[in-house]
Amino acid sequence: MGDIQNKAIALVGHCGPDAFALQSAVRGFIRGAEVHRVNDQTKLHEMMPGLSLLLVNRVLDGEFEVESGIEFIRGLGDDAPPAMLISNFADHLQASIEAGAQPGFGKQNMRSPEAEIALNNALAIGAENG
C-alpha cells in the first residue's frame, strides 16, 4: 500500500456512484491522497497545477469539451499530470495508452492488486519509496 502525502488525484467525468466507489478504492491504496471528483473542464483546468494524476472515465459525465475519455486524454497538453482511463473494455484501455495515458484498469477491478500496481506506477510511488 502506498503511503505518500500530497498526492492529489482527480476523478474526471465519473457519475456519483462510480466516483464514490473509485474514491474509496484509491484512498484504500494510497493513504493520505486527496481525491477530488471533477465533472467540469474549467474547474479541472484550474486544479491542474496541483494534481498528480487524472483517473478519466471512458464516457465523460459532466461539462467537458468532448464526451470520450480517450479524446480527452489525447487533448491533454504536455504540462498535464499523468492520466489513466478507467474502463472495463480492454480495447479502450489500449486505445487510451496509444493516446498517451498510463495503463488503466476497469471499474470491476478497482479494488484489485492490479489496480493498486497501476496507481502506484502512475504516481511513481515505488520510485519515491526507494
Short-list 29, 31, 40, CA closest to 10? 40
Lowest-confidence segment of 2-11, 48-57, 99-108, 115-124 by average pLDDT: 2-11
pLDDT, position 36? 97
Domain ranges of the chain: 8-121
* Predicted TM-score (pTM) of this structure: 0.92
pLDDT, position 4? 55
Domain 8-121 homologous superfamily, CATH: Response regulator (3.40.50.2300)
Q: What is the pLDDT of residues 67-114, one digit of tens each?
A: 999 999 999 998 999 999 999 999 999 999 999 999 999 999 999 999
Distance CA 120, CA 4 (A): 10
Distance CA 37, CA 68 (A): 17
Q: Kindly state the cell numbers that stand for 82.
A: 499523468
**Mean pLDDT of the 24-28 span:** 95
Q: What is the pLDDT of residues 34-73, one digit of tens each?
A: 999 999 999 999 999 999 999 999 999 999 999 999 999 9
Contact 31, 5 (CB under 8 A): no
Distance CA 29, CA 23 (A): 10
Distance CA 35, CA 54 (A): 10
Distance CA 90, CA 114 (A): 14
